[in-house]
Structure 1
């Protein structure tokens, strides 16, 4: 792993634990266990550091959903499985990414310049996902992806605080897809 990625992964942990106010160059140096000044040398301003963390969260969320190869079967079941996998990781091994993302979402709501930056990265993922939903049989892929993404975001948010024993996230997404009445190709 290169230094930049190592620093950003440490910064994700800092944001998850301490919020954006705790995100300092020194805190990241400490979390990454690198020499003092390493984060400042890589991210010369606080804004550059916040933007870097935002980009890294988006990258890691895509990995959480599809793994390193972005291969998802363009079918209702493939998409339900993808979202189920994402929810499992978001609540488990990648919980810090999830918490950091929610913190950054709240920060973007208060900071228009971060909102614009955040939107560009999210648009890249959304474009890929909307195409996948279209190929899976949605007649209104932009609408349907928005509904699914918002549902999964809300599900994860709720489950962070109030976990459901034996949660079947993929099954819930399958039911949502059925309600949206896709016609697989």
Structure 2
């Protein structure tokens, strides 16, 4: 069973994903969570405390999501394309609200630097995992390539969220990007 604090933060993330940061109020979280008025304020006295809790919970959920995605073995570029394309499709489809919350929180950290360290730590962990995947697939420069892929996927997803394309095909675009990288032949790994 989910504890009350986690329930409140999950509903707060849902609100940010559907209504943006302007929809994040203590009362709105109470209503979304179906708890008595004042419950959110009992756990998070100020908006700043609610935002800090929200960023922390977001990071927990992102880590769990990344760990699940990383369970599939990656042996080559095709596996990488499939994994990153699956992420992009989910981020713009069934995980759309969570993705919108992710971008809203990123913008918020630009305006509230005190929230940044939590996101930077989580981002560094995800980048390390991605570099390991690129290394396993044979990238000659996995750390550099991780930065390129991460920024490309971020932009690809953001663009699709803002201007949806019925023919959205992240796999073709990702394959074209990965084809520009230097790869170690499979027999040499």
TM-score, with structure 2 as normaliser: 0.84
Unaligned runs of 5+ in 1: none
Tell me how far apart the structure 2 counterparts of residues 116 and 180 of structure 1 sit (CA, whole Å).
30
Q: CA deviation at 1:99?
A: 1.0
2:6 counterpart residue number: 5
1:42 counterpart residue number: 43
Q: CA deviation at 1:119?
A: 0.9
Tell me how far apart the structure 2 counterparts of residues 59 and 175 of structure 1 sit (CA, whole Å).
32
Partners of 2:66 and 2:126 within 8 A in 1: no
**Cα displacement string for residues 68-112 of structure 1 (whole angstroms, at most 9, x for unaligned residues):** x73132232222112111111111111111111111111111111
TM-score, with structure 1 as normaliser: 0.86
Q: CA RMSD in A?
A: 2.2
Q: 1:141–1:38: structure 2 CA closer, same or farther, 3 Å change rule?
A: same
Tell me how far apart the structure 1 counterparts of residues 6 and 172 of structure 2 sit (CA, whole Å).
34
Q: 1:65–1:118: structure 2 CA closer, same or farther, 3 Å change rule?
A: closer
Partners of 1:64 and 1:90 within 8 A in 2: no
Tell me how far apart the structure 1 counterparts of residues 119 and 66 of structure 2 sit (CA, whole Å).
19
Secondary structure of the residue aligned to 2:180 is helix
Structure showing greater radius of gyration is 2
Partners of 2:16 and 2:104 within 8 A in 1: yes
1:71 counterpart residue number: 71
Q: How many residues align?
A: 184
* Runs of 4+ with deviation above 6 angstroms: none
Q: Where in structure 2 are the equivalents of 1:144-163 lying within 5 Å?
A: 144-163=145-164
